[in-house]
């Protein structure tokens, strides 16, 4: 086992830059775990990086294997008494771009970056969870402190991060207002949104009572969503923004309006992912898959992701269980 099948980019550019190749199997060292990947999630950061944005500047060499999310089976453990022994089903996040990503048959990752896969989820379902759910948890729970009586506005509630954000906010007792397209209004209500605003039919800031926190998953990429969100917040309220590059004047704009604002960057965190896994097992939250592609169809998967109208997550099926 010296080489593996992977989808790589030899340079940044359009989705067709993703091509099938054989690359060396990563070498597990120190406290890392070697995992045979059965499925890999696709995230907007993957597409941004492939096109030359995102974290492309940190790619050390080409060809490069993209991908953060994975679900699979442990092949090698750090040591004999480690809790994750060969054969254990796990899911988590890679350290891309510092290491090779998950669009491949094997990944070597820190033992702190993964946890046991929920038994109730298939590998394809589990691969759609880590980055999106950890991002949503970080923004909604760690930073915004979702709680009873809090009014929270969540933009792009039907997306990968958004559909987890709605569920976490509702679970912890917040009054959830989500923005979405017409086709997702009913579904967002099923996820737990108390109020859903169709952004295609009205301006979300008009007629909306002041909120305590905004989870901004759009920024100013489209129709100045980030800037307009400031008008929805009470004075002293909090805006948490994920696509920070889309709104370079965010902190200054927020300060001028008497609003607190911060960006957010997700980190691989197996301990928090274990909590999320228990919530998935209990049925407190769920992951929704918009579509599943085979590994060789990664370019088509990126093309679909870049339409910006996916519901939940897109996943690559890498290997058979």
Q: What is the pLDDT of residue 111?
A: 98
Residue 26 and residue 38 share a domain: yes
Q: Within 10 Å of residue 226's Cβ, how many Cβ atoms?
A: 27
In sequence order, what are the residues at sequence separation of 6 or more whose Cβ sits closer than 8 angstroms to the Cβ of residue 115? Answer: 90, 91, 92, 270, 271, 273, 274, 277
- Residue pLDDT, tens place only, 190-217: 999 999 999 999 999 998 999 999 999 9
Q: For residue 253, give the CATH number of its domain.
A: 3.40.50.720
Nearest-5° angle of CA 251, CA 253, CA 254?
65
Q: Is residue 298 part of a domain?
A: yes
CA distance 139 to 129: 15
Domain of 296 in residue numbering reads as 3-129+287-317
Residue 201 and residue 86 share a domain: no
Strands, E assignment, 230-306:
233-241, 260-263, 289-294
Q: Is residue 275 part of a domain?
A: no
Residue 100 and residue 174 share a domain: no
Is beta strand 32-42 parallel, antiparallel or unpaired with respect to 69-76? antiparallel
Residue 146 and residue 116 share a domain: no
Residue 254 and residue 189 share a domain: yes
Q: For residue 59, give the CATH number of its domain.
A: 3.90.180.10
262 token code pair: 């911060």
Residue 117 and residue 27 share a domain: yes
Strands, E assignment, the chain:
3-9, 18-24, 32-42, 64-65, 69-76, 89-93, 106-110, 114-116, 151-154, 175-180, 195-198, 211-216, 233-241, 260-263, 289-294, 313-317
Concatenate the DSSP letters of all residues of 90-148 into one string.
EEEE--TTSS--SSBSEEEEEGGGEEEPPTTS-HHHHTTSHHHHHHHHIIIIIIS---T
State the average pLDDT over residues 231-251. Answer: 93
CA distances from 200 to 113, 154, 180, 181, 273 (A): 38, 16, 8, 6, 34
265 token code pair: 């960057």
- Residue pLDDT, tens place only, 7-66: 999 999 999 999 999 999 999 999 999 999 999 999 999 999 999 999 999 999 999 999
Identify whether the C-beta of residue 134 lies closer than 8 Å to the C-beta of residue 265.
no
Running DSSP on this structure, what letter comes out for residue 295?
Answer: G
CA distance 314 to 35: 21
Q: What is the pLDDT of residue 112?
A: 97
In sequence order, what are the residues at sequence separation of 6 or more whose Cβ sits closer than 8 angstroms to the Cβ of residue 79? Answer: none
Running DSSP on this structure, what letter comes out for residue 80?
Answer: T
Identify whether the C-beta of residue 250 lies closer than 8 Å to the C-beta of residue 241.
yes
Q: Within 10 Å of residue 128's Cβ, how many Cβ atoms?
A: 29
Q: What is the pLDDT of residue 255?
A: 97
Residue 146 and residue 118 share a domain: no
Q: What is the pLDDT of residue 244?
A: 73
Instruction: Estimate the share of the chain in helix, then strand, then coil, as percent rounded to the nearest 5.
Output: 30, 30, 40
Residue 163 and residue 108 share a domain: no
256 token code pair: 């001028």
pTM: 0.97
Residue 140 and residue 73 share a domain: no
- Residue pLDDT, tens place only, 247-295: 999 999 999 999 999 999 999 999 999 999 999 999 999 999 999 999 9
Residue 153 and residue 122 share a domain: no
- Residue pLDDT, tens place only, 99-142: 999 999 999 999 999 999 999 999 999 999 999 999 999 999 99
Number of domains in the chain: 2
Q: Is residue 277 part of a domain?
A: no
Residue 86 and residue 109 share a domain: yes
Q: Is residue 204 part of a domain?
A: yes
Q: What is the pLDDT of residue 222?
A: 83
Residue 243 and residue 168 share a domain: yes
User: Is a pLDDT exceeding 80 seen at residue 177?
Assistant: yes
Q: Is residue 272 part of a domain?
A: no
CA neighbours within 13 Å on the CB side: how many for 11? 1
Nearest-5° angle of CA 157, CA 44, CA 264?
70
Q: Is residue 226 part of a domain?
A: yes
Q: What is the pLDDT of residue 49?
A: 97
Q: Identify the sign of the CA torsion 63, 67, 70, 76.
A: positive
């Amino acid at each position: 086992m010296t080489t593996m099948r992977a989808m790589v980019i030899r340079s940044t550019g359009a989705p067709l830059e993703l091509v099938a190749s054989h690359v060396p199997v990563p070498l597990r060292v120190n406290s890392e775990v070697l995992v045979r990947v059965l499925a890999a999630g696709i995230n907007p950061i993957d597409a941004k990086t492939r096109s030359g944005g995102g974290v492309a500047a940190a790619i050390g060499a080409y060809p490069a294997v993209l991908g953060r999310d994975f679900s699979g089976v442990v092949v090698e453990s750090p040591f004999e008494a480690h809790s994750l022994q060969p054969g254990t089903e796990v899911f988590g996040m890679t350290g891309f771009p510092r290491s090779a990503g998950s669009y491949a048959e094997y990944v070597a990752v820190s033992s702190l970056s993964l946890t046991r896969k929920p038994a109730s989820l298939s590998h394809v379902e589990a691969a759609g969870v880590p980055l999106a759910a950890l991002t949503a948890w970080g923004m909604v729970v760690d930073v915004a402190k979702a709680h009873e009586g809090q009014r929270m506005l969540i933009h792009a509630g039907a997306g990968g991060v958004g559909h987890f954000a709605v569920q976490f906010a509702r679970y912890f007792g917040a009054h959830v207002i989500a923005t979405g397209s017409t086709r997702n209004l009913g579904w967002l209500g099923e996820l737990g949104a108390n109020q859903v605003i169709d952004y295609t039919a009205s301006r979300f800031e008009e007629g909306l009572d002041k909120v305590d926190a905004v989870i901004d998953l759009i920024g100013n990429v489209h129709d100045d969503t980030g800037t307009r969100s400031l008008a929805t917040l009470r004075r002293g309220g909090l805006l948490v923004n994920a696509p920070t590059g889309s709104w370079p004047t965010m902190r200054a704009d927020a300060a001028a309006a008497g609003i607190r604002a911060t960006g957010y960057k997700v980190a691989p965190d197996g301990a928090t992912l274990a909590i999320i896994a228990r919530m998935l097992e209990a049925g407190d939250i769920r992951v929704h898959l918009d579509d599943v592609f085979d590994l060789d169809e990664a370019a088509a998967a990126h093309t679909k992701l870049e339409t910006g109208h996916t519901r939940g997550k897109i996943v690559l099926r890498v290997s058979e269980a």
